[in-house]
Amino acid sequence: MTDPKDDLIDLVLRGDHITLDALLKACGLASSGGAAKVLIAEGGVLVNGAAETRRGRKLRAGDVVTALGHRVHLRNA
């Protein structure tokens, strides 16, 4: 059963990738680069179901990021 707080955000990539910290800011899950850095460092972000602590992690179409009760699905235009 899906948690109602687990909202899906569909993000269309403009290029071939986006970094994890930039994605968190673009989706409004982090208000600043510093906030994104803290969220990532504290283990609050999953990429494809695994904890990710590298803020510069390159994400591509098909990746799914989970943070703060939201899932972000990346896709190409």
Q: pLDDT 10s per residue in the chain (77 long)?
A: 445 455 899 999 999 999 999 999 999 999 999 999 999 999 999 999 999 999 999 999 999 999 999 999 999 98
pLDDT computed for residue 9 by the predictor: 92
CATH superfamily, domain at 7-76: RNA-binding S4 domain (3.10.290.10)
Query: Where do the structural domains in the chain lie, given as residue ranges?
Result: 7-76
30 close to 24: Cβ distance less than 8 angstroms: yes
